[in-house]
Amino acid sequence: MRIGVWGGGALGLLWAARLAALYSETVLVTRTRKQADAVRSEGIRVIGLDGKARRMPVQAVESDRVTASFDVIMLMVKQRDFTSAFYQALSVCAQDGVIVCWQNGVGHDAVVKKTRHTQPVYGAVTTEGAWREDMTTVRHTGAGQTWIGPLLGKQEDHPALLRSLIAQVDHRWCPVVLEADIQPRIWKKLMINSVINPLTALLEVENGELFRLPDARALIRAALEEGVAVVRAMGYRWEADDVFHEVAEVCEKTATNRSSMYQDLMRGHMTEVDWINGGIVKEGKARGIQTPIHETLMRLVHAKEAINRR
């Protein structure tokens, strides 16, 4: 099976190493030639939860030089890069292939809807944590589970090659579940990210620190109440207390993880806040629901982005 892992961030490195151990034709597709050269030369070094480092040889190529045809593409780029990467991925995905989108937040499904494609497009949600230490090294910082399902609409029957891949990964590496409808998972992950990501980024703390700060806990609960009001208007019958407990559990399981938004700000990059908190704000406006806390978090993150660009 020919697999393309598109994106050399933390999860991209982690999954490229995992899949290369199962499928020798796995290729990591990077944004820069520098990273592709480094991976080709050194492989990917994975530091596991046990602290032990393992190096896996992995093929790599920069995105503007991709010519192979892939059976499965794991599209693991940031939301800001999604549109161009998705069109590129479509051009090198086999006619009977599958594209799996791993983006945080919401909005990428709207891009997919506007695109003419024959290949099935899936969405993925994970609670695993990872931290990219350098171009070829990733530290696995939190165990978790992954769910994969059709991005647009519900579907009970799934492509055989995707079922085979997921069975292999589930058996060898981590729990993976195929879902008929991934949208509830996407929105639940967005709800969790909407408090963990901006607060860890603004406070510059690891995930586990949030629930040791009383004021942060209070802000998490208030923001979740806002978000739950929005998703209940969308038809999801969730309770703020339940989601609060899920956030606490994720923070505990990924206590040493630095959220992707925190990592972006550390590196001086633009964040995905417009697709996370901004997704809640946009949906709230469409339904006449005020979301001042999420708007404030979004503005504060943008302010910190501006400071980092100076």
pLDDT, tens digit (0-9, with 9 covering 90-100), for 195-221: 999 999 999 999 999 999 999 999 999
Candidates 34, 52, 113, 189; catalytic one = 189
Asked if 230 contacts 288 with a C-beta cutoff of 8 angstroms, the reply is: no
CATH code of the domain in which 81 resides = 3.40.50.720
Please report, for residues 54, 114, 216, 234, the alpha-carbon distance to residue 302 in angstroms, rounded to integers and kept in the order given: 37, 28, 19, 27
Asked if 71 contacts 95 with a C-beta cutoff of 8 angstroms, the reply is: no
What is the C-alpha to C-alpha distance for residues 159 and 111, in angstroms, rounded to an integer? 22
Q: Which two structure tokens, joined as six digits, stand for 189?
A: 């992950």
Q: Which two structure tokens, joined as six digits, stand for 243?
A: 């989601």
Asked if 70 contacts 2 with a C-beta cutoff of 8 angstroms, the reply is: yes
58 CB-contact burial (10 Å; exposed 0-12 / middle 13-18 / buried 19+): buried
What's the confidence (pLDDT) of residue 3?
A: 97
- 193 with 90, same domain: the answer is no
Asked if 304 contacts 201 with a C-beta cutoff of 8 angstroms, the reply is: yes
Low-confidence ranges of the chain (pLDDT < 70): none
Residue found by looking up tokens 């190493």 in the block = 17
What's the confidence (pLDDT) of residue 128?
A: 87
Give DSSP secondary structure letters for 134-168: ETTEEEEEE---EEEEESSS--S---HHHHHHHHH
What's the confidence (pLDDT) of residue 17?
A: 98
CATH code of the domain in which 239 resides = 1.10.1040.10
For residue 91, the enclosing domain spans 3-180
- 51 with 112, same domain: the answer is yes
- 89 with 228, same domain: the answer is no
Q: Which two structure tokens, joined as six digits, stand for 252?
A: 């505990």
What's the confidence (pLDDT) of residue 310?
A: 80
- 175 with 195, same domain: the answer is no
| Single-letter amino acid code for the residue at 28 | L
- 19 with 41, same domain: the answer is yes
The H or E element that residue 95 is part of is strand 93-101
- 157 with 56, same domain: the answer is yes
What's the confidence (pLDDT) of residue 97?
A: 95
- 223 with 237, same domain: the answer is yes
- 220 with 237, same domain: the answer is yes
Q: Which two structure tokens, joined as six digits, stand for 68?
A: 């192979």
Domain stops at, among 163, 180, 197 = 180
- Other CB atoms within a 10 A radius of the CB of residue 27 amount to 24
Asked about 189 being catalytic, the answer comes back as yes
- 245 with 151, same domain: the answer is no
DSSP label at 275?
A: G
Domain stops at, among 180, 208, 229 = 180
- 129 with 214, same domain: the answer is no
- 123 with 266, same domain: the answer is no
- 192 with 174, same domain: the answer is no
Asked if 186 contacts 155 with a C-beta cutoff of 8 angstroms, the reply is: no
Total of domains in the chain: 2
